Amino acid sequence: MAVEPTEVQLQVRFVTKQEQYAVSDSPYAIQSNVQSSDLNTLVNALRKETKSSFQKSVEFDFLVCGELLCTTIAEHLQEKGVSTEDTLEIEYLERFPAPTPQECLMHDDWVSAVHTHGNWILSGSYDNSIHIWNTKGQHKLAIPGHTSPVKGVSWVSHNGDQAVFASGSHDQSAMLWVWNVTRNSVDCVLTCRGHDKGVECLAVAADGTRFATGSWDNNICIWSTSLTDEDNVPAKKRSKPEQGNSREPMSTLKGHREAVSAVQWIDYNTILSSSWDHLLKLWDCELGGIKQEIAGNKAFFDADWSPLNNSMITASADRHVRLYDPRSTESIVKTTFTSHTGWVQSVRWSKTRDTLFLSAGYDGQVKLWETRSPRTPLYDLTGHEDKVLCCDWSNPSLLISGSCDNTVRIFKAKHAIESV
């Protein structure tokens, strides 16, 4: 039986990296049973004393011993095994505001892939189609072409009136498409064939010159995004003119023993992959070899890497999200995030905040996490009525998810002020 922490008086000192909110670093005496809401009231009162130009209260989060405070300070310290006798340093930072629900984009079947670029959203569906939407929820195009569910979509480039995007499907192919924005017409210019089983995932390199696909044939293929036959990429005319040219992969990476569930580019020459074989792999694309291999205890369904913190997050069959630091010489798993009640299917880092990420799962939940709060997500983004298969945060203002309830849901993020 858990022992209730004794209520005592604490000496605390408040610190912040956001200098516009700084208060005196003198120690203050507070009761140990206070929570973050009480600390919010206190810090805003101290700000009012410190600055005559104080305008309005700000909502803060509080870091105690490197973790967000989600209980009373006494419970937090007891769990961490920290003494209440020493002066406690509490760091505060402006709370990321709650994202607000926006449009709900209706499809005819499960939505299995989403990707945003600027004001445009791509979605892929189990009815074999790709859709283009604007971020206000207006449907621009429904695009046939694949003959099985579309499992990956990604924008490649936007140049004025022309946009290029890629798609991957369980029909064993990936396709490169050109969208004429003014005419609102799409052409498939290349069909990429090299997998023996369905394509499960897809990612475009940062420079837009290549993309990678992962498949149920356990392999990863790397393709050129060039719309012409160059760079020694084999190409031959297909019999069906509406399918454009056929292209073979630039290279194939072999090493996984089961389906490849995610591919991500870490840099120009390095790809991260996750698989149902319980393994994460870092690949050297030029040499075709494996740089690093990380073993998990369950099948991986998704993985994402952040250039802001050089860390990876993974989605697994055991209902957990894990944060990995591949450079670590100690434990590679840095944090385990526990809140989902079913398989976690999709994870995506914020592009602008190195401590924020999204997860989506078979429990119908989309969750927004702070890496320093492993047991309590910042927010649950509710609305889906069935399993959530994909999520995306490519546009920093829009949190997007696709579900077996045949919808894409959009949440708008109001940006908190960045630290100075």
Can you give the chain as a three-state secondary structure string? Answer: CCCCCCCCEEEEEEECCCHHHCCCCCCEEEECCCCHHHHHHHHHHHHHHHCCCCCCCCCEEEEECCEECCCCHHHHHHHHCCCCCCCEEEEEEECCCCCEEEEEEECCCCEEEEEEECCEEEEEECCCCEEEEECCCCEEEEECCCCCCEEEEEEEEEECCEEEEEEEECCCEEEEEEEECCCCEEEEEEEEECCCCCEEEEEECCCCCEEEEEECCCEEEEEECCCCCCCCCCEEECCCHHHCEEECCCEEEECCCCCEEEEEEEECCEEEEEECCCEEEEEECCCCEEEEEEECCCCEEEEEEECCCCEEEEEECCCEEEEECCCCCCCCEEEEEECCCCCEEEEEECCCCCCEEEEEECCCCEEEEECCCCCCCCEEECCCCCCEEEEECCCCCEEEEEECCCEEEEEECCCCCCCC
- The answer to whether 356 and 350 have CB atoms below 8 angstroms apart is yes
pLDDT tens readout for residues 322-379: 999 988 877 789 999 999 999 999 999 999 999 999 999 999 999 999 999 999 999 9
- Give the C-alpha separation, 355 to 327, whole Å: 18
Share of the chain above pLDDT 90, in %: 82
Residue 226: partners with Cβ closer than 8 Å, 6 or more residues away: 209, 233
pLDDT tens readout for residues 129-152: 999 999 999 999 999 999 999 999
Name 408's bridge partners: 105, 402
Show pLDDT as tens, one digit a residue, over the chain (420 residues).
455 566 789 899 999 999 889 998 899 999 989 999 999 999 999 988 877 666 688 999 999 999 999 999 999 999 888 888 888 999 999 999 999 999 999 999 999 999 999 999 999 999 999 999 999 999 999 999 999 999 999 999 998 899 999 999 999 999 999 999 999 999 999 999 999 999 999 999 999 999 999 999 999 999 999 998 654 444 444 334 444 589 999 999 999 999 999 999 999 999 999 999 999 999 999 999 999 999 998 999 999 999 999 999 999 999 999 999 988 877 789 999 999 999 999 999 999 999 999 999 999 999 999 999 999 999 999 999 999 999 999 999 999 999 999 999 999 998 644 433
The domains found in the chain, sorted by start residue, are: 5-94 (3.10.20.90), 100-412 (2.130.10.10)
